[in-house]
């Protein structure tokens, strides 16, 4: 764009909420350039002591994907659990229970839980060097295959070998993790949370 000497206001794009803007300016000559918004338009105020050639380009970066990314990073545990819960039924629709343990990683997780009696996602994430979402995915498939079950206690969600009775599992977890037996109220709360899932 050719501009004679003097001050000029040049329209370079539209402004809209929800976006971050980057304006790139190329000047062949000498000029002072100031970018500003007026209404829903973006302008450049160009003050040139002599004729100049100048060009502009505007890049738009939406804020919504950035906000979504920040949310995923801050709440990745909840998101991973919900995603695994949503995708597991779709996946297990095409897999037989006998085939669940053919995956080597899933088999390792199940063997660890069966040997110890229980575990939780963060522990498995460190032991097997897996992403949290991957651990939740494998746990969801193992649970849907009827090999494990889970309940919330001591501010964690524990995944337990299905062969370990609930009362034994609760006592073991509380003694290992809290150094004490569970109270009757704690046992009742756990049993109540599982009353529609387990025949205990």
Supply the pLDDT for residue 138: 92
Both 33 and 81 in one domain: the answer is no
Radius of gyration for the chain, computed over Cα atoms and rounded to the nearest angstrom: 30
Same domain, 93 and 162: yes
Angle, helix 132-144 to helix 104-116, in steps of 10 degrees: 70
pLDDT tens for each residue of 104-133: 999 999 999 999 999 999 999 999 999 998
Name the domain count of the chain: 2
The DSSP bridge pattern shows strands 6-14 and 148-153 to be unpaired
Based on the fold, state whether residues 58 and 96 are members of the same structural domain. no
Domain containing 55 equals: 2-62
Same domain flag for 43 and 127: no
Closest CA to 162 of 154, 177, 150, 175: 150
Domain assignment present for 23: yes
pLDDT tens column, 89-104 = 555 555 565 678 889 9
Within a domain: 200: no
Last residue of a domain, one of 62, 89, 107: 62
Region 137-159: what's the mean pLDDT?
92
Q: Is residue 58 included in any domain, yes or no?
A: yes
């Amino acid at each position: 764009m050719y501009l004679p000497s003097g001050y000029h206001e040049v329209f370079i794009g539209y402004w809209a909420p929800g976006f971050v803007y980057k304006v790139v300016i190329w000047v062949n000559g000498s000029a002072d350039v100031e970018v500003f918004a007026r209404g829903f338009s973006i302008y450049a105020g160009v003050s040139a002591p002599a004729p100049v050639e100048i060009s502009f380009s505007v890049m738009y970066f939406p804020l919504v994907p950035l906000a979504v990314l920040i949310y995923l990073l801050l709440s990745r545990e909840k998101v991973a659990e919900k995603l695994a819960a949503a995708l597991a039924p779709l996946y297990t629709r095409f897999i037989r229970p006998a085939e669940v343990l053919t995956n080597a990683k899933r088999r390792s997780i199940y063997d660890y839980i069966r040997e110890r009696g229980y575990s939780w996602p963060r522990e498995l994430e460190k032991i097997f060097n897996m992403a949290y979402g991957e651990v939740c995915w494998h746990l969801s498939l193992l649970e849907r295959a009827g090999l494990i079950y889970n309940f919330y206690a001591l501010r964690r969600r524990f995944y337990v070998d299905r062969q370990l009775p609930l009362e034994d599992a609760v006592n073991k977890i509380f003694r290992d993790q809290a150094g004490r037996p569970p109270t009757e109220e704690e046992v009742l709360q756990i049993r109540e949370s599982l009353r529609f899932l387990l025949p205990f």
